Structure 1
Amino acid sequence: MARSTIYAGLEIGTSKICVVVGEVKKDGAIKILGVGQAPSRGIRKGEIVDFDIAQTCLNDALLRAEDRSDVMIRNVFLGVTGSHIESLNHAGVYRLPPDQNQITEDDLEDVREIACNVDIPQNHVFLHRIARKYGVDGQEQVRSLIGRTAERLDAEFHIIHGVRSRVQNSIRLVRQVPLEVEDAVFLPLAAAQVVLTKEAKQHGALMIDFGGGTADYVLYAEGMLTASGSVPLGGDHITNDISLCFQIPHARAERLKVEEGSAADVELEPGEMIRVDDENGMFVGEIERALLNEVIHMRTREILEQVYERCAPHMGRLGAGVYLTGGVSQMRGIDQVAKDVFGVRITRSGSSASGGVAATYENPCYSAPIGLIRYAQLMDAEKPWLSPLAKLGRRMAEVFSTWTF
């Protein structure tokens, strides 16, 4: 690799702020050197609502990561999410000049620019432009293009974009620490790098990163990124429903969801009750287990159905099924609800191919921040024209082109 193999990934989530420091070994395995996290405050649905509070939480997570990894962090790959993020697929065609019959690097750059020349809302900024496929004279999925005889080049890209000000706010928060942002990465795209294998992507797979404030997703078909987005609902909404239904504090509702609840329709003894204690362990009352499960089931199904609706045109292409990751994916019965909604094989998955401290963190709630380390490695290994690192100055200038400090 051209640069150091030590990377830092930062997830600013609704439930937690997490900093992961990882080293990529020569064989491609990730060794986690340290993880620092802090409860996320000042963040709502993946977006910053109180800078001062959020910065305090970020500082706490950063100091813990540095202490545990013995690495002074100066640069991070920043994960971003939120319901403002949108995506589309767009194709372009380029005809070679009449006096030329072999494809050159300049021709590839021209067809990329054409394929990525798409109108997005004026207040949006591009996050990713990812090649899906290339074609030559009507023949699709062509590789080794340079030097190939052709008259016409085709390209199709998956384009991810989001509201400029919201992306800027996340970068601004990080820079005030101060840290430099190597790249801003749509979080489920990073998580997919450690959750989905190459074979799963090739056979067709939908990965849902089910977090506290959002349910983010990426869908691959025939190895190509085909759909992506974010549903503005997550685990916190399930907890809020429990809190409102049973008139109990949010913290107690969260504990009930995690320790006692299930999203699945399960057979229960008639009138089975759950004891509810206060923060001091004192008995305050009972609730019916069947009703708790019903509340959890209804909201969970609603969230998964929203993902289904957005991915419906591609559901017939999921040979590998649906992969659930993120903290909420650990909830009892969620795989059964997902099976009912999507009608395909469901896999609950965390990160993989990592070592070191990662043995403690190989669970679904760390897929995204650990995925940022893998994403960093992949981007450094790509050709210069694909690497965000090679275009970092232009990317950051684009993001901040209308920002004043």
Structure 2
Amino acid sequence: MGAEPFIVLEIGTSKICAIAAKLNQNNSFDVIGVSNEPACGIRKGEIINLDLVSESLKHVIQNLEECAGISIGSVDITFSGAHIQSTPRQGVIQILDVEHGVTQDDMNLAVNAAMAGRLPEDRIILQPIVQQYKVDNQNGVSNPKKMLGSMLTVDLLMLHAKANSIFNINTTLENLGIDVTDYHFNAMSSAYSVVTAEQKKCGVLVIDIGAGTTDFVVYVDQRVVTTGVLAVGGDHVTNDIVSAFTISQKSAEQLKCQSGSALTDSSTQLEKISVPAGMGFRACSIPLSDLNIVINARMDELFRMIQDELGKDLLLSLGAGVVLTGGGAKLKNVTRCAERIMGLPCSVGTPFSISGLTSAYQSPEFASPIGMLYYSSQNVPGNEGLIRKFFKWVKAL
């Protein structure tokens, strides 16, 4: 029989993707099934129509079960949403046994102390992200186990989300007979599959450009420095094209993906693109230079927003530059656009190769679910996520 497969599920604005994979003897993955379908009933990462989302999830799960020849009872979820936020917290405790040094119990107590501060009633904790420990006056400790001292301090980022958004996902999957084991933030999931430990040490910014949102995470000295979500994504570029040229959503998406560029180019001023009639819209001809002006304006805005969020000093500490993932990373000249705004080298992050995964999925828009596999495999067996514990507590009331 072998070990149970890892089942991960990405719930995005434009697509829902599920992957089943097993760890082999070389501690790498063998993918046994993939299911991917367009998402319905989701906007900017949040459910707006439970019935449509339920139907989409049902199809994805059933297809994966048939493809992999398994029965699915639980999943790990990677997702985004403009409602996700991070708050810095600090916890300080006295070390329990000063003669033998810091233990795992001490570390857990410090994290619990950092998370003790109350959140607004409509928020729920997704996960604590430990940034560093401090033993007495020694800063920058990544693993304080067995270190001697009297006081242990932990600095962490607490990721939290709108409670109703999480309830909606949980309830929808529970109605399909699926238990949610854990949740993870999209940008961090993507980072697991596209950047190396060396890049995280040197300092790297990972930007996941989705359809409804753009997520980012910054690593310096192999620790998470900050995260964020912007309510701007590829769909906004498409909507800009619709408004500028009065064409259908479908035509605008095709123009963006097939002909558009994140940079303007004077050499395209005389080139025009024919848009056929359809869906109630008349046929028309659009100058390619005008199309690229519209796309460039939105992409410039997006990268400037991230630049403003991070600040000049933090950007200067990113020795490994910027890595773009998500469907938006496939836009022509998007890396050059990011480089021009941020003044840093930029590349497109392609997921690390995994056995059994076809070339169609070795693409930046699948970085998040593939990265979630790595994250799930590194979690301690039997270590329940905070949200799962919370829902068990609610059911027991």
Partner of 2:78 in structure 1? 79
- Is the CA contact (8 Å cut-off) linking 2:183 and 2:387 kept in structure 1? no
Partner of 1:24 in structure 2? 23
Q: Structure 1 118/310 Cα, relative in aligned 2: closer, same or farther at 3 Å?
A: farther
- Percent same amino acid at aligned positions? 28
Partner of 1:341 in structure 2? 341
Secondary structure of residue in 2 paired with 1:23: strand
Partner of 2:321 in structure 1? 321
CA distance in 2, matches of 1:64, 1:193: 26
Secondary structure of residue in 2 paired with 1:354: coil
- Is the CA contact (8 Å cut-off) linking 1:5 and 1:25 kept in structure 2? no
Unaligned 5+ residue runs, structure 1?
A: 382-388
Secondary structure of residue in 2 paired with 1:303: helix
CA distance in 1, matches of 2:97, 2:353: 49
- Is the CA contact (8 Å cut-off) linking 1:324 and 1:348 kept in structure 2? yes
Q: Structure 1 307/28 Cα, relative in aligned 2: closer, same or farther at 3 Å?
A: farther
1:147-196 deviations in Å (ceiling 9; x for gaps): 33212222111211111111111111121222111112112221111111
Partner of 1:292 in structure 2? 291
Q: Which amino acid in structure 2 is aligned with residue 343 of structure 1? A: G
- Is the CA contact (8 Å cut-off) linking 1:7 and 1:23 kept in structure 2? yes
Partner of 1:255 in structure 2? 254
Give the superposition deviation at 1:111. Answer: 2.0
Partner of 1:94 in structure 2? 93
Give the superposition deviation at 1:5. Answer: 5.0
Q: Which amino acid in structure 1 is aligned with residue 165 of structure 2? A: R
1:175-224 deviations in Å (ceiling 9; x for gaps): 12221111121122211111111111111111011011010111111110
Partner of 2:160 in structure 1? 161
Q: Structure 1 363/267 Cα, relative in aligned 2: closer, same or farther at 3 Å?
A: same
Partner of 2:120 in structure 1? 121
CA distance in 2, matches of 1:283, 1:166: 39
Partner of 1:192 in structure 2? 191
Q: Which amino acid in structure 2 is aligned with residue 364 of structure 1? A: P
Partner of 2:383 in structure 1? 390
Q: Structure 1 94/30 Cα, relative in aligned 2: closer, same or farther at 3 Å?
A: same
1:331-359 deviations in Å (ceiling 9; x for gaps): 00111111112110101012104121243
Say whether 1:182 aligns with 2:181.
yes
Q: State the aligned residue count.
A: 394
CA distance in 2, matches of 1:130, 1:4: 28
- Is the CA contact (8 Å cut-off) linking 1:219 and 1:225 kept in structure 2? yes
- Is the CA contact (8 Å cut-off) linking 2:214 and 2:229 kept in structure 1? yes
Q: Which amino acid in structure 2 is aligned with residue 372 of structure 1? A: M
Q: Which amino acid in structure 1 is aligned with residue 323 of structure 2? A: Y
- Is the CA contact (8 Å cut-off) linking 1:89 and 1:226 kept in structure 2? no
Q: Which amino acid in structure 1 is aligned with residue 3 of structure 2? A: S
Q: Which amino acid in structure 2 is aligned with residue 266 of structure 1? A: D
CA distance in 2, matches of 1:403, 1:267: 62
CA distance in 2, matches of 1:292, 1:400: 51
Q: Structure 1 76/99 Cα, relative in aligned 2: closer, same or farther at 3 Å?
A: closer
- Is the CA contact (8 Å cut-off) linking 2:37 and 2:56 kept in structure 1? yes
Q: Structure 1 92/269 Cα, relative in aligned 2: closer, same or farther at 3 Å?
A: closer
Give the superposition deviation at 1:314. Answer: 2.0
Secondary structure of residue in 2 paired with 1:141: strand
Unaligned 5+ residue runs, structure 2?
A: none
Secondary structure of residue in 2 paired with 1:380: coil
Say whether 1:11 aligns with 2:10.
yes
Q: Which amino acid in structure 2 is aligned with residue 84 of structure 1? A: H
CA distance in 1, matches of 2:98, 2:6: 46
- Is the CA contact (8 Å cut-off) linking 1:22 and 1:33 kept in structure 2? yes
Q: Which amino acid in structure 1 is aligned with residue 328 of structure 2? A: V
Give the superposition deviation at 1:399. Answer: 5.0
Secondary structure of residue in 1 paired with 2:267: coil
- Is the CA contact (8 Å cut-off) linking 2:277 and 2:284 kept in structure 1? no
Q: Structure 1 255/403 Cα, relative in aligned 2: closer, same or farther at 3 Å?
A: farther
Partner of 2:237 in structure 1? 238
Give the superposition deviation at 1:238. Answer: 0.5
